[in-house]
Amino acid sequence: FKFLQNNSEQLQRLEVELCEVTKSKETLQQNLLELTEYTHMLFITRNVVQRSSEYGEFPFLGKDTVMDYSSMQRLGLHSGLIQRQKIEAFECMLWRVCKGYTILSYAEVEEYLEDPDSKRHGEPTKSVVFLISYWGHQIGQKVKKICDCYHCHLYPYPTSSDEWNDVVEGLATRIKDLHTVLHKTEDYLRRVLIKASESTYMWVVQVKKIKAIYYILNQCSFDDIPTLRSALEKGLVRKMTKFICSCLEGVKSVF
């Protein structure tokens, strides 16, 4: 009984520890995914904001020869990532709802991103980086609602070249630190699982022994206990040993 109680407490502590470590690992993976997506978005869209031909529809940009950061500030801007299979419907929805007052530029991310949510279903994650420019506050609200409906991952875009460099540098540092922490977390989780697996065989053997003991006890009748006790006492007198007496001690039940 004492073994079962100790074993139960040990398993509960192990379960709590594994849940905490696993949850921490998932949080780190999600943070790493967001930083990686943000990095891809910044590098892929860097050349997009330099284009000028696509912005001819907006009157105040008619004389601008280059779409630079100052011009970009006069336009509303949403940037982020969306799943590859949603981009066509996303583009059609923007055009229909915003009546052509938006400019959508997008490019596919070459590598697959390890999204923890989609990985559980065994599906690789292929994402598309997009940059939406719009004119007017109401149009911006519509664009934001459409992005939310399609579960886009939106990230702020730097307002200057210097800020862009600072953001990229900061992202690189944070990604490096996250990789280090994630590696240590996975190593710790591996050690905990190995330690638990080493004790599994011993736990199984001890549980089987206890199960066999209670199985035999269930075959006994309480009416035979006085007869059994008398026989053991007679044997004790003959053999003069204390071992037989220990057999009469009561066994606590877990039920």
At 60, the pLDDT band (50, 70, 90 cuts) reads very low
Residue 112 phi, psi dihedral angles, 5° rounding: -80, 135
Residues found in the chain: 255
The percent of residues above 70 in pLDDT, for the chain, comes to: 76
Q: What is the helix (H) or strand (E) element at residue 79, kind and residue range?
A: strand 76-83
Residue 158 corresponds to which tokens in the numbers above? 């730097």
Average of pLDDT values for 111-120? 67
Say if residues 155 and 106 touch (Cβ distance below 8 Å). Answer: no
pLDDT at 14 > cutoff 50: yes
Question: Which residues have C-beta within 8 Å of that of residue 147, sequence separation ≥ 6?
Answer: 78, 80, 82, 132, 154
Q: Cα–Cα distance between 161 and 46 in angstroms, integer?
A: 10
Tell me how many degrees the CA angle 72-167-24 measures, rounded to the nearest 5: 125
At 143, the pLDDT band (50, 70, 90 cuts) reads very high
**Per-residue pLDDT at 231:** 80
Which domains, from first to last, does the chain contain? 36-179 (3.30.70.2750), 224-255 (no CATH)
pLDDT at 168 > cutoff 70: yes
Say if residues 101 and 58 touch (Cβ distance below 8 Å). Answer: no
**Per-residue pLDDT at 13:** 87
Report the range of poorest mean pLDDT among 4-8, 161-165, 208-212.
4-8
Cα of first residue to Cα of last residue in the chain, in angstroms, is 10
Residue 243 phi, psi dihedral angles, 5° rounding: -65, -35
pLDDT at 62 > cutoff 50: no
pTM above 0.75, yes or no: no
Residue 183 phi, psi dihedral angles, 5° rounding: -65, -45
**Per-residue pLDDT at 248:** 53
Q: Cα–Cα distance between 52 and 205 in angstroms, integer?
A: 75
Question: Which residues have C-beta within 8 Å of that of residue 80, sequence separation ≥ 6?
Answer: 37, 41, 129, 130, 147, 152, 153, 154, 155
Say if residues 133 and 55 touch (Cβ distance below 8 Å). Answer: yes
Average of pLDDT values for 206-214? 84
At 42, the pLDDT band (50, 70, 90 cuts) reads very high
Residue 129 phi, psi dihedral angles, 5° rounding: -85, 135
Average of pLDDT values for 71-95? 85
